[in-house]
Structure 1
């Protein structure tokens, strides 16, 4: 269980222990009251009442433990379900890229077969220029994460979002699970795109930086402002402001905690023009290096 879940569990246990003590004291008092003695309830029945109350309280302790375990299993199941969805999306991305690559090869081969060598060379140059614009996505040392960010950049074009990406990290020498990186980055980007798409600026900045001892993942988007009182609540299981499952940011924080990292949230208002302002929100994830 996570730290906050353990806190809740031990608070529940403490409450039930206090309840047991209270029931024992009350039961002893109940046995020895003049009213009960006057009614002449047999001693064994009075003792049975004491033990029944005590047993019931103890059983409640096990019930609470089972309940918290069931909640933890449910959360894990939902996270695995989301991971499977992310994996399916990644497989579809790879299929689309393979299909595009095969088309390029067929066209080049066809031009060579009919003697159009200059056209083939020109076509290869065009492909090379396109690859230059996307090469920044493939220097991460993690093919899965590169494919994810490349796909998100295509989605940004579809929704006319100004998506900037910068990176100074090579994950090939670091021990981070690729699915964990996808969980963190994918959910943060999806969240940012949701608000940016409806904003005035339609702006998202995504950065992954190597600071020496840690990795920083920073994403800023226009179109949202998070009040200080809600900066912790947004990471709670099931909490959502956009009619979704409320799993995205919960998964991000759970994955960050897996690596003993931290996540910070900053929000501010900026001038869009002389007459309007809009909110900007930044999520900053700090992960200790795993070498």
Structure 2
């Protein structure tokens, strides 16, 4: 394996399965011993009789399976609760953002009204164009990702972060991700890490070259996510090293894990990732995830009209 370290979430799942396996074995042995002790108190060894022994094994096995199923449902419920908490938090953030936009929009209306009252019609027209350009991007992101509010929330937050840093941030959505089979938590980690990596990279270049573009599209069998930063470029010798654990061109003991985590998560869900870097387009990280065919079929089912 060459020293490959699994993601924390994967290690937790493996550890939990190991603990459950050991617990089931101990539980099974404990139940058998309990049956034997019960028989000893009754003055006979129940397990010495084949009939009683097979019955005890069967009973203890069923009881162990039932307990493990209950534990499995508890773990599954906790995982679902985490996803629901994430969706709730992202939805709240979207609502807060929409309230802020409403407040700003009222201010814009007052400015436009004032310009019209003093006869500055051309200025009002230009101002309306600027306002329309400002509010159209977040609105389009929200409308195209109604089924994925956590993704919309992430993109809107990154838009605000980029604007505050003087970075031109463009989002081009060509799909609603309805048939995405990747859990929300993992998809957010992949997309968020790639965007953070791009925003961090452009912070070291002149302002006119601080451009980040995110594009999410849908093919016949896969979704494709492209995160591009125009500059800086990645040297050819480092193109395959950027996904290695601990590799970084920046100083800091906590650096060099973001892209390693991204690659681990992508491969965990049978996806692929690559990086391209050239003078014309800049640096682009490309991720592809297989489309969940069952989700696509269910989304295409149409109810008959009444």
- TM-score range relative to shorter protein: 0.5 to 0.7
Match of 2:90 in 1: 86
Q: Of residues 154, 157, 170 in structure 1, which corresponds to 2:160?
A: 154
> Which is worse superposed, 151-160 or 92-101?
151-160
Match of 1:66 in 2: 70
Q: What does 1:226-265 correspond to in 2, within 5 Å?
A: 226-227=243-244, 264-265=271-272
TM-score when normalising by structure 1: 0.55
Q: Distance in 2 between matches of 1:188 and 1:97?
A: 28
Q: Of residues 63, 79, 83 in structure 2, which corresponds to 1:75?
A: 79
Q: How far has the Cα of 1:150 moved from its partner?
A: 4.7
Q: How far has the Cα of 1:96 moved from its partner?
A: 1.3
Q: Distance in 1 between matches of 2:197 and 2:172?
A: 21
Q: Distance in 2 between matches of 1:216 and 1:204?
A: 20
Q: How far has the Cα of 1:161 moved from its partner?
A: 4.8
Q: How far has the Cα of 1:219 moved from its partner?
A: 3.2
Q: CA RMSD in A?
A: 5.4
Q: How far has the Cα of 1:66 moved from its partner?
A: 1.0
**Matched residue SS, 2:243:** coil
Does residue 220 of the first structure (1) align with residue 220 of the second (2)?
A: no
Question: What is the number of equivalent residue pairs in this alignment?
Answer: 233
Q: Distance in 2 between matches of 1:215 and 1:77?
A: 28
From the superposition, tell whether residues 168 and 57 of structure 1 become closer, same or farther in structure 2 (CA, over 3 Å). closer
TM-score when normalising by structure 2: 0.53
Q: Distance in 2 between matches of 1:122 and 1:185?
A: 44
From the superposition, tell whether residues 75 and 185 of structure 1 become closer, same or farther in structure 2 (CA, over 3 Å). closer
User: 2:24, 2:68 within 8 Å by CA — same for their partners in 1?
Assistant: no
Match of 1:47 in 2: 46
Q: What does 1:61-140 correspond to in 2, within 5 Å?
A: 61-112=65-116, 115-117=117-119, 119-132=120-133, 135=136, 138=139
